[in-house]
Amino acid sequence: MSSLQLKPIHPVFGAEASGLDLTRPLAPEDVRAINAAMNEHAVLVFRGQPLSAQQQLDFARHFGPLDIGLKRVFKRPERLEDERLIDISNVDAQGKVAHRDSPKNLSNFANQLWHSDSSFMNPRAAYSMLHCVITPSWGGNTEFADLRHAYDTLDERTKAEIEDLQAEHFALHTRILLGDDAYTDDQKKEIPPAVWPLADTHPGSGRKVLFVGVHAREVIGWPIAEGRMYLSDLLEHATRRENVYVHEWMPGDLVIWDNRSTLHRGRRYDISERRELRRTTINDTPEAMLRAA
């Protein structure tokens, strides 16, 4: 029996998890307990887990194969040696706080839009695991929205309308929205768009999900303008304040969320101050599904 303990942190979803030392290998019953908790709560917050980079990788591997996301496109120098660690920071490859207009900060600004990690890929991301190392003096919170509750609270007309609709998700859509359109054709082809149902079903819980986010750029079969306005309305519904948990980071926090049932976004902070977090992300593959069973 696992020693995992859970305390709800929001009326809709999310739980603070304790009772496990994540710096050590997990027992099979602990992996099963975390997966069961993720299916129920979608976001788990572990406090006081001073993970090294290698310990974070070892922990993540319990849940499935790791994904490198947009590193397939950018292929630029990184300060973290293992490419499976995603550097969520404003620190450049030389270890210095990046210039305000740097590519590093462009990625930070894109992360401040509501999204699910790698929804532009097939397979998409299952879990993301973000570990806090250094926090700025203010701001930099991360917000999460529950897409299951978003679906549940749709009116019946909209539920019927989206039942057979699909949206196309594109990797560079957020970057282009923010004014960065200097991508080669080869870069644009590196990760082709992925198509997902708007009314999806979460594989772990069996609950219906309103699968939207800023990576979704069009509704298949609809005019572009109409589709984008519709997606914007659905995103507004999904991210109403009563459906959002705000996480205030402390060094040593590890937050796990399920990209198939939540959205998230970072919040503004003083980008001249150092902020460092490390992310590991698990692909939604049959192997990950088997481990989640």
Number of domains forming the structure of the chain: 1
Q: Is the bond into 123 cis (omega within 30 degrees of 0)?
A: yes
State the pLDDT at residue 249.
98
Along the 293 residues of the chain, how does pLDDT read in single tens digits? Answer: 999 999 999 999 999 999 999 999 999 999 999 999 999 999 999 999 999 999 999 999 999 999 877 655 566 677 887 888 999 999 998 999 999 988 888 888 999 999 999 999 999 999 999 999 999 999 999 999 999 999 999 999 999 999 999 999 998 898 888 888 777 777 777 788 999 999 999 999 999 999 999 999 999 999 999 999 999 999 999 999 999 999 999 999 999 999 999 999 999 999 999 999 999 999 997 655 445 44
Domain extent, residue 65, equals 5-292
pLDDT at 177: 87
Q: Please give the helix or strand (H or E) that residue 237 lies within, else none.
A: helix 224-238
| CA 232 – CA 238 distance, rounded (Å) | 10
DSSP string, 68-94: -TTHHHH----SSSSTTSEEEESB-TT
Distance CA 255, CA 129 (A): 6
d(Cα 217, Cα 169) in Å, to the nearest integer?
6
pLDDT of residue 140: 98
Which domain CATH number covers 141?
Answer: 3.60.130.10
Q: How far is CA 203 from CA 40, 260, 263, in A?
A: 12, 8, 16
Q: What is the largest CA-CA distance in the chain?
A: 53
Angle at 268 between CA 52 and CA 153, to 5 degrees: 95
Whether the CA torsion 135, 138, 140, 144 is positive or negative: it is positive
